[in-house]
Amino acid sequence: MLFLLSGPSGVGKGTVRKALFKKEPHKLLYSISATTRKPRRGEVDGRDYFFTTKSKFEEMINAGQMLEYAQYVDNYYGTPKNWIDDQREQGNDVFMEIEVNGAMQVRAKVPDAILIFLLPPDLMQLRNRLELRGTESDEVIDERLKTARQEILMMTNYDYAVVNDKVDRAVKKVQTIIDAERLKAKRLANGYMKILEV
């Protein structure tokens, strides 16, 4: 299966994903993105990102080999479709953490992906989280909140919604969604059809 965690900037996607992956056994593979930016100190190709050139990335876009992608500050970031397809064919469940626009690209290309929308308890708490980062001006934060309002309206395109009021509680809800999806009869049926030789 392909699980996708998405939501507005500052909602805590990375924090929830990291906490989920610390729980054992989670049996999930974290999706590795490709990027055209240079590796930062300590980053390893094929573990942190697939580092590539701009021309190669654009070739992959034109060949339909990117599941989703975006451009930020003159660099591309995106998910190679072949890597996701290979992992799923091997029976691995893959977990992605991406922005809302990327999630909508995935929804269009992988209809059976399970999309989880992470919500802030309210917009004031989202503002507080963005301010606590200390990395952006008030104008940038205002713009992010404006975008967040628009993204929250897109929540109905997702399969599930989880409020991130406390990280542990949000992680438990995401894990519950994963467990429930793994127990769906239609997913188990294929294995049993082979056993019964139907």
- Cis bond before residue 120 (omega within 30° of 0): no
Of the candidates 92, 124, 143, which is a domain's last residue?
92
Confidence at residue 9, expressed as pLDDT on a 0 to 100 scale = 82
Tokens of 118: 């992470």
Both 160 and 98 in one domain: the answer is yes
Domain, as residue range, for 62 = 31-92
Both 163 and 122 in one domain: the answer is yes
* Rounded Cα gap, residues 154 and 194, in angstroms: 39
42 annotated to a ligand binding site: no
46 annotated to a ligand binding site: no
Both 45 and 134 in one domain: the answer is no
List the pLDDT tens digit at each of the 198 positions of the chain. Answer: 999 999 988 899 999 999 999 987 888 999 989 999 999 889 999 888 999 999 999 999 999 999 999 988 789 999 999 999 999 999 999 999 999 999 999 999 999 999 999 999 888 888 887 888 777 788 888 888 898 889 999 999 999 999 999 999 999 999 999 999 999 888 778 777 777 775
Both 124 and 62 in one domain: the answer is no
Both 100 and 18 in one domain: the answer is yes
7 annotated to a ligand binding site: yes
Confidence at residue 122, expressed as pLDDT on a 0 to 100 scale = 85
Q: Identify the DSSP state of 13.
A: H
In b/e form, how buried is each residue of 100-133, taking b as 16+ CB within 10 angstroms? bebbbbbbeebeebbbbbbbbeeeeebbebbeee
Q: How many CB atoms lie within 10 A of CB 3?
A: 22
Confidence at residue 37, expressed as pLDDT on a 0 to 100 scale = 93
Of the candidates 49, 69, 92, which is a domain's last residue?
92
14 annotated to a ligand binding site: yes
What are the backbone dihedrals phi and psi of residue 97, each rounded to the nearest 5 degrees, phi first?
A: -130, 105
191 annotated to a ligand binding site: no
CATH number at residue 63: 3.30.63.10
- Which residues are paired to 118 by β-bridges? 162
Both 138 and 167 in one domain: the answer is yes
Confidence at residue 198, expressed as pLDDT on a 0 to 100 scale = 59
> For the chain, what is the domain count?
2
